[in-house]
Structures are given as structure tokens and as C-alpha cells.
């Protein structure tokens, strides 16, 4: 199972320099978990940068994976993960969601560079 960070979704959708890195997880919908928080973040960003139709098309693509909602157990695990790894709320929830489902977390966020069960690639700047 895989969980792709919001930055990974945006990178993939924009065909950014790291798009191929995320393609393996994004294109395997059968093993893809999509936290509701990721739907929120990606929808908001696409809505800001493009328009509502494109934002809705984007989340429709994301929903080809299995959408997982934040529950009490994951929320508490996210708080612990956040303290342990000094992560902000959204990052903590994403990682806790992946761990709750035994999934690999895919990201280009440097906060995750040395965390177990994370597939990390450095973000390429300047494109």
C-alpha cells in the first residue's frame, strides 16, 4: 500500500522534475490510499492556481485510490509522530495514516528524509 504526500500529487500532476518518482505509487490505484487531508490540500492548491473544474478533476483522479478518513486512533498517533519527528499537523497526519495501514509514505518534503517507511526524493527547485 502507498500514501502519496500532497506535494507528491502536485508534482505528479504538474509533470514536475520528480513526477516519475511518484508515478509508481499514483498510477497503482489498487494499492493507493488517499487521506482526506490530501484531498483538501490538493483541491485547495489547484483551485487557487487554476479553477474549480480542474480542481474537481484532480480530486476525481485521486479518488481512484481508496480514500481514508481521519479517525480518533490516527489523530492520536499523528500527535505522537508529530512530537517524535517534530512534524507539523498535516505531515503528522499523512505519516500516521500511512503507518496505520502498513503503507509506504511517498514525499519530497525534506522533513521526512530520514524517517523509516518513507520513500523520499529531494525536491528539485527552479523549474
Q: Give the sheet arrangement for strand 118-120, strand by strand.
A: 66-68, 32-35, 2-4, 104-107, 118-120
Q: Does domain 2-112 fall into CATH 3.40.50.1010?
A: yes
Residue 127 confidence (pLDDT): 53
Alpha-carbon distances, residue 126 vs 16, 17, 65, 110, 123 (angstroms): 10, 10, 30, 16, 10
Q: Distance between CA 12 and CA 102 in Å, rounded?
A: 23
Residue 75 confidence (pLDDT): 98
Determine phi and psi for 63, rounding to 5 degrees.
Answer: -75, 0
pLDDT tens digits, one per residue of 70-125? 999 999 999 999 999 999 999 999 999 999 999 999 999 999 999 998 999 999 98
Give strand pairing partners of 106.
Answer: 4, 119
Q: Which percentage of the chain shows pLDDT scores above 90? A: 96
Closest by Cα among 27, 29, 26 to 7: 26
Question: Does the predicted TM-score (pTM) go above 0.85?
Answer: yes
Instruction: Tell me the average pLDDT of the chain.
Output: 96
Q: Distance between CA 31 and CA 4 in Å, rounded?
A: 11
Mean local confidence (pLDDT), 7-14: 97
Residue 125 confidence (pLDDT): 82
Amino acid at each position: 500500500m502507498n500514501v502519496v504526500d500532497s506535494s507528491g500529487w502536485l508534482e505528479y500532476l504538474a509533470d514536475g522534475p520528480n513526477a516519475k518518482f511518484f508515478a509508481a505509487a499514483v498510477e497503482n490505484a489498487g494499492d493507493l490510499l488517499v487521506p482526506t487531508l490530501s484531498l483538501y490540500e490538493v483541491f485547495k492548491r489547484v483551485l487557487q492556481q487554476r479553477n474549480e473544474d480542474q480542481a474537481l478533476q484532480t480530486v476525481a483522479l485521486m479518488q481512484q485510490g481508496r480514500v481514508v478518513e481521519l479517525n480518533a486512533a490516527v489523530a492520536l498517533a499523528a500527535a505522537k509522530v508529530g512530537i517524535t519527528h517534530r512534524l507539523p499537523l498535516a505531515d503528522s497526519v499523512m505519516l500516521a495514516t500511512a503507518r496505520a495501514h502498513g503503507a509506504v509514505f511517498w514525499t519530497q518534503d525534506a522533513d521526512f528524509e530520514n524517517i523509516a517507511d518513507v520513500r523520499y526524493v529531494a525536491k528539485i527547485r527552479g523549474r
